[in-house]
Amino acid sequence: MKKELLIASALVTTLGATSVAQAVTATMAGSMKVGAEFESPDSGTDTNNISDLSNFNISLSETTDGGTTISTSFEIVDEGATTADDDNAIKLTFTDGSALELLNAGNAAGTHVVAVPGAGGEQGITGTSTNNAPGDVDFAAGSTGLGVEWHSAADFLADGLSMSASFSTDSGAAKAAAARTENSWGIGATYVTSAGDTALTIGGGVADAEIANTGTQADADKGGFNIGVSAVTGDLTIGVGYGDGDTFVSSTTAGTNIQVDGSVMKAGVSYVTGDLTLALGATFGEAKDGSFGTAGTTDDSSDSTSASITYAVASGVSAVVGYTTVDRQNDGSSTTLGGSAWYVGATMSF
């Protein structure tokens, strides 16, 4: 009996030590969105559907005896075709406030994109695969999974300034007909200051990448810059962002990958009054596209304007009504692939 008690005690002690070693700090967050979307395309039949979207995020972190915090996260997403997010890095945050992300680190030019207010809701109009006008100001910031990104501490070199730099390298996989990003670099910076009662945020970055495929290579690449500014005065937020550069659309057929030379501007405003948030946003994207080795000569464009009203029903619960109108051109010609859509729904977050 004594021997059994000693064995049991040793087992509990061992499991306890193992448990402590593996017990990182975990926090979780997520949301559930349920609503109805109604689309009215310029041609075709009006449609409506139920939007049922959910996500669940787990963040993990622990601090070593030396003061370095090791963290990462993962997300489970239910948004139709997307079921999980595995594009997460291991992040080391040092005692001086600087940090280093390892693997899946992304591109520093995208890290410092200024948030521009935009309408809430899940409304939109389906586009065309041949229209390659960009919609995000960091569309030219690419990377591979084998990448690192360094982040400065706050107030780096000057009060209110922070910077990042990133690099990703070739995975070593054989080239294929479909074009892909081979390696990349990026730098970005954000500057926060004030002008009277207004808080100003200015940010942007520059990125470049090499493209690889077995077809016609020509001068196709991926790279460009983005810049933006936002101003917050009390309950009013105004923002604008701009991006310009080159990107590509991969094809499974050698020689038919698409090179894209584009630009996009986003502008928005939001105002909070009591439990209501009013938001208005606009996006103007354009591009010239053509097969690798054949520069485009005519414009694709996609211009959209959206507005929404969000009401805080209770803690973590909000109701939203949103509206979007879209106008598109493909290769210099007006299309019937625009239209309007509206959405009414609710979000529960934790």
How confident is the model at residue 314, as a pLDDT? 94
Alpha carbons 254 and 293: distance in angstroms, whole number: 12
Report domain extents, the chain: 32-349
Residues 291-315 have a mean pLDDT of 89
In terms of C-beta distances under 8 Å and separation of at least 24 residues, what long-range contacts does 247-252 make, across chains too?
247/134, 247/139, 247/140, 247/142, 247/222, 248/179, 248/211, 248/220, 248/221, 248/222, 248/292, 249/132, 249/289, 250/178, 250/179, 250/180, 250/213, 251/177, 251/178, 251/179, 252/177, 252/178
What's the CATH superfamily of 32-349? Porin (2.40.160.10)
Split at pLDDT 50, 70, 90, the class of 228 is very high
For the entire predicted model, the pTM comes to: 0.83
pLDDT tens by residue, 188-218: 999 999 988 999 999 999 999 998 888 766 5
**Which amino acid does the sequence have at 116?**
V
- 319 near 310, Cβ under 8 Å? yes
At residue 332, the pLDDT reads 73
User: DSSP code of 175?
Assistant: P
* Per-residue pLDDT reduced to its tens digit, 53-105: 888 889 999 999 999 999 998 888 765 555 455 567 899 999 999 999 998 88
User: Is the confidence at residue 21, as pLDDT, over 80?
Assistant: no
Model confidence over 153-167: pLDDT tens digits?
999 999 999 999 999
